Amino acid sequence: MGKPQPRLTDSQLVDWLRLIRSENVGPRTFRALMSSCGSARAAIEALPELARRGGARAPVRVASVEEIERELMVARRLGVRFIAIGEADYPPILRQIASAPPVLACRGRPEALQQPTVAIVGSRNASAAGLTFAERLARGLGRAGYVVASGLARGIDQRAHAASLETGAVGVLAGGHAKPYPSEAAPLIERMVEYGAVVSEMPVEWEPRGRDFPRRNRIVSGLALGTIVVEAARGSGSLITAKFALEQNRQVFAAPGSPLDPRAEGTNDLLKQGATICTHVDDVLAALAPMRSDDLFAALEEGVEGEPCWGDEADIEAASAPGDDLASDAFADGGSEGVRDRIAALLGPSPITLDELARAAEAPAREVRVALMELELAGRIEFSGGDRVALRPADGDA
């Protein structure tokens, strides 16, 4: 459908990767920086000064050209393609989430990322019944034309991937493509890239750490119209995926289980919180049917085409979402020191929403945003979920 979309030039891609691979730059700050500075290269140049304003004690580490060129070389060897957020191959509904990765590293067929997708997630130590049910769901969804996304973990995830290989399986890595995790998933990944795709937002050689898994989960849910949680103990990672799905305004489905089965505690809790009960693939198909009408998908694609493209750096300023525009003058002046200190004082270790923060700060939204960008660059705060922010622990390992 429609006109070919711009792609980043090779040199723009290097800039984008340098920016997103730089210290303290997350997807949200990446977007704010692009909006303020007009291009990734300009943002990279501005980084040290912005971080200093935010209160960074040491100079912020900026990814070097050499580092990115090495990543591109390793990526080429692995058959990884980079897809930037404004490009036509970027998954259209992932683009809608607040913390969409600016660049996805993709192995396999990017077409799989364009199709209506459902996520199936669940326990690593799943029961036999849970595994069988995940398999049934994945087959049923595949037959109905859905791609199935998951997180490549042992148990439910891998079973869902294996059952959707021929109809379209998309896996999301917590680390880089050169460090598939868990390692036993390597053969499965090779089969997935034949018909489907495996994606990662991390540097190609990144070894995943604990905190990368919840972060990865927002991409699993963000790729999908709905997320099905098959089995989940209380506090398990699958529930984080479900929480992301809710924050992203996506459907959450949960399979019920015996009140005496600890692996069903999380899913039963989800049902109490209003998730849609799923005992058969038809429950999912019925709930998602209205979202899958051709009209809606056409509209989505229109939207992507119609919006100024992130990949066309000249258009970056216009492309930023209405709430995200940092007027250049505010940026040129730097954030107000008073506002920044007030915000740092308001934040604690428990995440609060940006709305709550803006209300408590009693400052113009624009100044709050500039202050947050500077504080994040200084490594003093971190975003979590779609819309929450907290002080970063002083002795953080990150």
Residues that bind a copy of itself (CB under 8 A): 129-130, 132-133, 255-261, 264-265, 268, 271-272, 277-280, 283
Asked if 205 contacts 63 with a C-beta cutoff of 8 angstroms, the reply is: no
State which residue, 64 or 258, has the beta carbon closest to a copy of itself: 258
Strand partners, 353: 388
Helix 354-361, helix 365-377: angle, nearest 10: 110
Q: How far is the CB of 264 from a copy of itself (least distance, A)?
A: 7
Q: How far is the CB of 128 from a copy of itself (least distance, A)?
A: 9
Q: How far is the CB of 126 from a copy of itself (least distance, A)?
A: 12
State which residue, 149 or 278, has the beta carbon closest to a copy of itself: 278
Give the angle subtended at the CA of 389 by the CAs of 29 and 239, to the nearest 5°: 110
Q: How far is the CB of 263 from a copy of itself (least distance, A)?
A: 10
Q: How many CB atoms lie within 10 A of CB 76?
A: 11
Helix 65-78, helix 10-20: angle, nearest 10: 110
Q: How far is the CB of 267 from a copy of itself (least distance, A)?
A: 8
Helix 265-272, helix 237-247: angle, nearest 10: 20
Asked if 309 contacts 6 with a C-beta cutoff of 8 angstroms, the reply is: yes
State which residue, 277 or 358, has the beta carbon closest to a copy of itself: 277
State which residue, 17 or 163, has the beta carbon closest to a copy of itself: 163
State which residue, 46 or 277, has the beta carbon closest to a copy of itself: 277
Task: Please provide the size of the chain in residues.
Answer: 398
Q: How far is the CB of 165 from a copy of itself (least distance, A)?
A: 22
Q: How far is the CB of 261 from a copy of itself (least distance, A)?
A: 7
**Cα–Cα distance between 190 and 136 in angstroms, integer?**
22
State which residue, 107 or 263, has the beta carbon closest to a copy of itself: 263
**Cα–Cα distance between 374 and 381 in angstroms, integer?**
9
What CA dihedral angle connects 383, 385, 388 and 391, to 10 degrees? -40
State which residue, 80 or 131, has the beta carbon closest to a copy of itself: 131
**Cα–Cα distance between 181 and 222 in angstroms, integer?**
20
**Cα–Cα distance between 231 and 239 in angstroms, integer?**
10
